[in-house]
Amino acid sequence: MYNMKKGPKITLVTPIAVNGHRVTAIIIGRHYREKHAHYMNDEIILNLVMALDGGEFSPDSTNLGIEYYAADISLKINGLAKVCRLVWLFEGDLLEIIGVINAYRVKRKK
């Protein structure tokens, strides 16, 4: 079963729509801190999640009935355009929460 060290639930000021779900909160897993903390933080991850608004995504993989998604998102970080990969899933009874598994920079957009 899915298990990650999770941070607190962050309620979004303005809900977003992803895959037709009304997303009202995110939970950021702490995995990114192991290898990417020198350039990645919760604020950047929140901006990456907000960039999913209005998008339709196909799952990249399914494990034990849980669908995992990955999206490459262009974002300005410290004034420079960077591409970051956001690995996430839906959580909650109404799939109203995005659970972020990992986030990191990539050289090329997939």
Distances (CA, A) of 9 to 29, 80, 83: 10, 29, 25
From first to last of its 110 residues, what are the pLDDT tens digits of the chain? 344 567 789 999 999 999 999 999 999 998 888 888 888 999 999 999 999 999 999 999 999 889 999 999 998 877 888 999 999 999 989 999 999 999 999 986 55
pTM: 0.87
Element spanning 98, H or E:
strand 97-106
Return the residue matching tokens 């950021």: 28
Beta bridge pairs of residue 61: 68
Q: Which of 20, 14, 32 is nearest to 99 (CA)?
A: 32
